């Protein structure tokens, strides 16, 4: 059953009075009524001003009329199948107050901001309420890039949503590439454009009829050098002398991560509450942040040894990335290998420094392919990749995929640098162990016999 209340959200001399509309478990809406009151004069129980002067009486009457108006519109919306959103509530309040919305939602940057504001009420990929912090950060960065495009390429002119067509997208892509943004980042921008425009369409904002023809941009991934820690390297890291407690602590996280195969965010969030004893089997139970999937990873003897005196203490992800590079350098992982390293690259533009106020060269971080010393390429991601690579062929691939949360076997094999042929050899080896006395099919090379 829907609940409609009038509330304050802060304690100020001029506090906004809000409408709080709880439509269902998943739809809870807040919007300003357009009326203000001193919080000391507000009766939360009666949802009205305590004062008895003429102005306060008028406000109380208007607030009561507003509730009646909203309840009536709620019933109409139910009977006509209208979707309950923040925009719907705002529109009803604006109609009651005989005003038009201040925000022009047909302007792209305004609508992006609306999308950000509505993030807590939007359904995420896990079918739960509320977009993730990472997704919101991505949309905020997208808005910043759009604003930069408006300033530099459009001379400050705002982009109207209905004007976002194929021609616009091509011009925007060209500008992004001219700024040395990666193909991956350009692709995310185009995907965000489609997301925002589709959301605007659902809220009766006019969009281009070419929207459905806008294609995404995907990076053609070439085989790359797989950077991981072999079991021999892990053993060496385990025994190398370290002079700082912070490095010893980070080493524990690193080695534990290589044995449980989780993303860094999940790894560094593990507490004693995640460690379970299931009929004598010790395991770590985690709800993965990215997928929302519940996984249980058995603790191997080496992992139990790492945590026998308790888990390592908490550490931030930036510090973890910094320390494990230092650890691997001390451990002598200095061999030259191919890989991609985050590098600051000048864009050719000048920006104003927030610290000094002076004009400085604008830089962006790009993953630059090259040949580097191995420790330079070590990041938190090496934990999950080392687990997947080292245990491939020893643990059934579906089990590994369940732990590492890869959606398809193709993705998993690409991730660890394997091919379908490697999988065939693994299967052959598996059958040889199952039936050692039976004749095992042999792989042989069939030469090309076609005529020239």
Q: With residue 277 as reference, give the H or E element that holds it.
A: strand 275-278
| Contact status, residue 166 vs residue 210, Cβ threshold 8 Å | yes
- Report the pLDDT value the prediction gives residue 438, as an integer from 0 to 100: 46
- List pLDDT tens digits, range 7-24: 998 888 888 899 998 888
Q: In what order do the strands lie in the sheet with 281-287?
A: 275-278, 281-287, 294-298
- Lowest mean pLDDT, pick from 112-126, 336-350, 353-367, 423-437: 423-437
**Where are the domains positioned within the chain?**
3-96, 115-213, 224-332+379-419, 334-377
- Report the pLDDT value the prediction gives residue 109, as an integer from 0 to 100: 92
- Report the pLDDT value the prediction gives residue 179, as an integer from 0 to 100: 85
pLDDT at 346 over 80: no
d(CA 374, CA 174): 35
Greater pLDDT, 441 or 50: 50
pLDDT at 315 over 90: yes
- Lowest mean pLDDT, pick from 119-123, 241-245, 319-323, 348-352: 348-352
Cβ-proximal residues to 447 (8 Å cutoff; 6+ apart), any chain: none
d(CA 311, CA 303): 10
From residue 225, alpha-carbon distances to 344, 384, 407, 414, 421 in Å are 21, 16, 22, 11, 18
- List pLDDT tens digits, range 143-188: 999 999 998 888 888 899 999 999 999 999 999 988 888 788 888 9
- Report the pLDDT value the prediction gives residue 358, as an integer from 0 to 100: 73
| Segments in 86-128 forming alpha helices (H) | 86-96, 108-117
Mean pLDDT of 39-63: 91
Nearest to 255 by CA among 281, 229, 225, 282: 229
Put residue 365 in one of left, alpha, beta given phi > 0 → left and psi -120 to 50 → alpha. Answer: beta
Would you give the DSSP letter of residue 240? S
- Report the pLDDT value the prediction gives residue 357, as an integer from 0 to 100: 67
pTM of the model: 0.53
The structure tokens 């004007």 sit at 163
**Domain spanning 224-332+379-419 has what CATH number?**
1.10.443.10
d(CA 250, CA 248): 6
- Report the pLDDT value the prediction gives residue 47, as an integer from 0 to 100: 92
């Amino acid at each position: 059953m829907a609940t409609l209340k009038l509330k304050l959200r802060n304690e100020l001399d001029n506090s906004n009075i809000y409408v709080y509309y709880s439509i269902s478990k998943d739809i809870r809406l807040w919007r300003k009524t357009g009326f203000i009151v001193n919080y000391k004069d507000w009766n939360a129980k009666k949802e009205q001003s305590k004062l008895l002067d003429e102005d306060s009486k008028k406000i109380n009457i208007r607030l009561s009329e507003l509730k009646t108006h909203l309840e009536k519109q709620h019933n109409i919306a139910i009977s006509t199948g209208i979707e309950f959103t923040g925009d719907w509530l705002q529109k009803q309040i604006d109609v009651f107050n005989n005003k038009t919305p201040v925000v022009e939602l047909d302007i792209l940057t305004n609508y992006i901001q609306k999308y950000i504001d509505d993030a807590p009420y939007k359904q995420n990929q896990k079918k739960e309420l509320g977009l993730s912090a990472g997704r919101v950060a991505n949309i905020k960065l997208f808005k910043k890039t759009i604003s930069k495009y408006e300033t530099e390429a459009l001379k400050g002119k705002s982009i109207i949503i209905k004007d976002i067509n194929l021609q616009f997208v091509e011009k925007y892509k060209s500008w992004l590439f001219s700024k040395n943004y990666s193909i991956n980042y350009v692709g995310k921008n185009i995907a965000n454009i489609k997301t925002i425009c589709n959301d605007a369409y659902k809220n009766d904002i006019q969009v281009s009829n070419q929207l459905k023809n806008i294609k995404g941009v995907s990076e053609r991934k070439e085989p790359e050098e797989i950077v991981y820690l072999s079991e021999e390297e892990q053993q060496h890291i385990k025994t190398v002398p370290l002079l700082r407690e912070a490095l010893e602590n980070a080493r524990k996280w690193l080695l534990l991560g290589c044995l449980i195969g989780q993303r860094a965010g999940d790894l560094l969030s593990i507490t004693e509450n995640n460690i379970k004893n299931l009929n004598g089997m010790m395991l770590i139970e985690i709800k993965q942040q990215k997928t929302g999937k519940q996984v249980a990873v058995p603790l191997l003897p080496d992992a139990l040894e790492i945590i026998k005196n308790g888990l390592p203490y908490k550490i931030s992800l930036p510090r973890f990335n910094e320390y494990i590079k230092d650890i691997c350098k001390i451990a002598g992982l200095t061999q030259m290998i191919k890989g991609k390293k985050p590098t600051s690259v000048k864009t050719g533009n000048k920006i104003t420094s927030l610290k000094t106020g002076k004009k400085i060269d604008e830089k962006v971080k790009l993953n630059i392919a090259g040949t580097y010393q191995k420790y330079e390429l070590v990041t938190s991601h090496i934990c999950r990749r080392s687990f997947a690579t080292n245990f491939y062929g020893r643990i059934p691939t579906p089990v590994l995929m369940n732990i590492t949360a890869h959606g398809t076997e193709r993705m998993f094999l690409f991730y660890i640098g394997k091919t379908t042929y490697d999988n065939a050899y693994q299967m052959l080896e598996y059958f040889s162990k199952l039936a050692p006395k039976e004749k095992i099919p042999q792989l042989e090379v069939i030469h090309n016999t076609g005529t020239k």
